[in-house]
């Protein structure tokens, strides 16, 4: 089996968005309905067939670019270990998102999820502004071409967590994400995406994120580990 990350779904200019790629790989994991942990080992290349194979350890699956290990998916933490980020009121989201730091300084302005250089209908255009208490919030207006597919919920769980840290001054990339996707959005639905800073130590930062449907249902939640670039 192979997966190909189209250029549209890039994070940095030359590699795939980590959350989206993690979602693609998680879909191949034969672990049932529970959480899946995806560890990214190297930037996922674009427009290149990548092989999916059982991990050598016998648990999970690996994503390979020739002999190079790109990512590994395995069974995640128990569902109870994933924390839903408390939502803000819907009336507050627009004002919070208007304060998105990425509008003025963005390490990856072409990112499929949060890049301000992406046009409507091309990127997800999630612009997570900081609430002021360690959380971020933004709206996701779900296009018909990304509705109904779990990998786009994984993508939406990615960047809003990262922006809970000062990523504009200290660029980071996704190193690991444990996510549970329990539902998918409908075409035209406006979802609320929340992020929260958990902690930082050295080059590592941990965040939580949650995607809520327009009716308040939880579509997905995640705990992520970010690695600051040298």
For 26-46, how does the pLDDT look when each residue is reduced to its tens digit (9 = 90+)? 999 876 577 999 999 999 999
Q: Which residues of 208-227 are buried (b: 16+ CB within 10 A; e: fewer)?
A: bbbbbbbeeebbbbbbbbbe
Q: What is the edge-to-edge ordering of all strands in the sheet holding 2-3? A: 2-3, 50-54, 61-65, 68-75, 36-40, 172-181, 218-228, 204-212, 190-201, 135-141, 129-130
Q: So what's the pLDDT on residue 10?
A: 98
Distances (CA, A) of 39 to 17, 85, 230: 13, 22, 19
For 103-132, how does the pLDDT look when each residue is reduced to its tens digit (9 = 90+)? 999 999 999 999 999 999 999 999 999 999
Is residue 80 predicted with pLDDT exceeding 80?
A: no
Q: How confident is the model at residue 145 (pLDDT cuts 50, 70, 90)?
A: very high
Read off the tokens for 177: 């994400």
Q: Which residues of 75-112 are buried (b: 16+ CB within 10 A; e: fewer)?
A: bbeeeeebeebebbeeeebeebbeebbbeeebbbebbb
Secondary structure percentages of the chain, helix, strand, coil, to 5: 15, 35, 50
* CA 155 – CA 32 distance, rounded (Å): 20
Q: How confident is the model at residue 79 (pLDDT cuts 50, 70, 90)?
A: low
Q: How confident is the model at residue 88 (pLDDT cuts 50, 70, 90)?
A: very high
Read off the tokens for 131: 């609430």
* CA 134 – CA 87 distance, rounded (Å): 12
pLDDT, the chain, mean: 94
The reply to whether CATH 3.40.50.460 applies to domain 79-228 is no
DSSP one-letter string for 142-158: --TTTTT-HHHHHHHTT
Q: How confident is the model at residue 56 (pLDDT cuts 50, 70, 90)?
A: confident
CB 208 within 8 A of CB 221: yes
For 151-189, how does the pLDDT look when each residue is reduced to its tens digit (9 = 90+)? 999 999 999 999 999 998 889 999 999 999 999 999 999
CB 73 within 8 A of CB 61: yes
Domain boundaries, the chain: 2-75, 79-228
Q: So what's the pLDDT on residue 41?
A: 96
């Amino acid at each position: 089996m192979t997966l190909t990350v189209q250029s549209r779904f890039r994070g940095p200019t030359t590699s795939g968005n980590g959350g989206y790629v993690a979602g693609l790989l998680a879909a191949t994991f034969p672990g049932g309905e529970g959480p899946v942990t995806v560890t990214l080992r190297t930037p996922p290349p674009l427009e290149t067939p990548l092989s999916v194979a059982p991990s050598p350890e016998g648990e999970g699956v690996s994503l390979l670019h020739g002999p190079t290990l790109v990512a590994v998916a395995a069974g995640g933490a128990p569902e109870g270990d994933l924390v839903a980020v408390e939502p803000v009121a819907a009336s507050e989201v627009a004002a919070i998102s208007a304060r998105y730091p990425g509008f003025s300084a963005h390490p990856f302005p072409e990112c499929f999820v949060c890049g301000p250089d992406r046009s409507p209908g091309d990127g997800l255009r999630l612009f997570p502004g900081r609430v002021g208490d360690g959380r971020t919030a933004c709206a996701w207006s779900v296009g018909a071409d990304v509705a109904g597919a779990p990998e786009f919920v994984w993508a939406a769980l990615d960047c809003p967590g990262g922006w809970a840290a000062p990523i504009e001054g200290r660029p980071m990339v996704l190193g690991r994400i444990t996510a549970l996707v329990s539902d998918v959005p409908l075409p035209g639905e406006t979802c609320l995406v929340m992020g929260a800073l958990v902690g930082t130590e050295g080059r590592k930062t941990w965040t939580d994120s949650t995607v809520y449907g327009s009716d308040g249902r939880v579509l997905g939640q995640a705990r992520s580990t970010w690695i600051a670039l040298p």
